[in-house]
Amino acid sequence: MGCVILRTAARGSAPNVHIMEKEKTVCITGIGRGLGRALVDEYLSRDGIRVIGVTRDAGKAVPPLESSDRFTVVEADIAEEGGREKVRTAVERAGGVDVLIHNAGVLLFKPFLEITPDELRAVYEVNVFAPFHLTRALLPLCRSCHVVSLSSMGGVDGSLKFAGLSAYSSSKAALNNLTELLSAEFADTSHAFNCLAMGSVGTEMFRAAFPGLEAGVDASTMAKFVGDFGFQAPAVMRGKIIPVSLSNP
């Protein structure tokens, strides 16, 4: 994928004109709502960026998600091999991606002794196995890709933990560790891997986990931060688990 060159406009013309050699492409999972939807809006507000967005049901999004010249909606369940193949096909058609954001996640808020094997498996299928397999499927299609995993403070060693989140937080801890391992394995390549461990962000998932509490930051503000991080971080950091939190929860 080509680079984006930002040049100051000539005297007498409009300032901050963006001159693009080639478009950048970003792939985001879990775009139906919350931070994923905010990330789509953020990236599409920027010049020279195409977005491949993945959701299980575009029709349930409010407002509904529709593909356009710069936005490809892929309806797929990334917990299933067939769903991941749909994403792979879209990325292959785009000629690869520059940034892959693992945003899709499943929250289970339930006492440890009451969690069923199927419930535990469902959490890990989306939060761990899907990023694992999707990264394996997409990396060979990309010359240089920054893989950004959106995790949780609950998965960070030594952070404040909460009863009822054993399945969710342990899955995020696995995602954190996977980021470090992949960074080591691909150290001699142009691919980069980083993980953002979120604190409280005003999304449906946060409200479900902590009803009645006010989040430290809204989804659109966090999307601006993640949007910049996706393109800027590889120049200064790799294999990092970064807490991004004003409050927890």
Q: What is the pLDDT of residue 2?
A: 39
Here the CATH number for the domain that contains residue 27 is 3.40.50.720
In a domain, 39, yes or no: yes
In a domain, 249, yes or no: no
Residue identified by tokens 């299928």 is 125
In a domain, 229, yes or no: yes
What is the count of structural domains for the chain? 1
Give the 3-state secondary structure of residue 25: strand
Q: How many residues are present in the chain?
A: 249
Residue identified by tokens 């520059």 is 98
Containing structural domain, residue 201: 4-244
In a domain, 220, yes or no: yes
> What string of DSSP letters covers 83-123?
HHHHHHHHHHHHT--SEEEE---------GGG--HHHHHHH
In a domain, 56, yes or no: yes
Q: What is the pLDDT of residue 198?
A: 86
Q: What is the pLDDT of residue 163?
A: 94
pLDDT, average across residues 35-50: 96
In a domain, 119, yes or no: yes
Spatial separation of the C-alpha atoms in residues 82 and 31, rounded to whole Å: 18
In a domain, 150, yes or no: yes
| Residue, of 71 and 210, whose pLDDT is higher | 71
In a domain, 97, yes or no: yes
pLDDT digits (tens, 9 = 90+) for 48-90: 999 999 999 888 876 788 889 999 999 999 999 999 999 999 9
**123 pLDDT exceeds 60?**
yes
Residue 151 contacts residue 196 (beta carbons within 8 Å):
yes
